[in-house]
Amino acid sequence: MLTRITTEMPHTVSIEMETFHLYDLADVSVGHSVHAFGCAMIIAERSNKNFVTPAEKERLVTASWNALGRRLSALVMLTYPSRIVF
């Protein structure tokens, strides 16, 4: 599974245990009917061991959720185009 993930998504740098399990379940689902994705946020500045400010955290969370929403919307439209109702 790790070989497949890093081959298909070469920019993958880390997979948490829970995320790996989601990918594994999707991989073994009947007819690959389950789609999985993972998203992780790190809100610490590792270089100086400080955490970001509450305002910066809010900005990062908002930007991440917006990006995630756009990606999920695109995935749904590509995967199930006949089910989209406007």
Do residues 47 and 79 share a domain? Answer: yes
Do residues 25 and 52 share a domain? Answer: no
Backbone region of residue 9 per phi and psi (left: phi > 0; alpha: psi in -120 to 50; beta: other values): beta
19 or 62, greater pLDDT = 62
Model pLDDT for residues 44-74, shown as the tens digit of each residue: 666 677 777 889 888 888 888 888 888 888 8
CA separation (Å) from 17 to 33, 38, 60?
21, 11, 23
- Asked if pLDDT for residue 85 goes beyond 70, the answer is no
Asked if residue 7 lies in contact with residue 26, where contact means CB atoms within 8 angstroms, the answer is no
Do residues 52 and 34 share a domain? Answer: no
Do residues 67 and 81 share a domain? Answer: yes
Do residues 80 and 62 share a domain? Answer: yes
Do residues 64 and 80 share a domain? Answer: yes
User: Which sign, positive or negative, has the C-alpha torsion 54, 60, 66, 68?
Assistant: negative
Domain that holds residue 22: 1-38
Do residues 15 and 48 share a domain? Answer: no
Other beta carbons within 10 angstroms of residue 24's beta carbon come to: 13
Do residues 32 and 53 share a domain? Answer: no
Do residues 49 and 81 share a domain? Answer: yes
Please tell me the predicted confidence (pLDDT) of residue 11: 79
- Asked if pLDDT for residue 30 goes beyond 70, the answer is yes
What's the structural domain count of the chain?
A: 2
CA separation (Å) from 43 to 18, 34, 40, 56?
19, 30, 10, 9
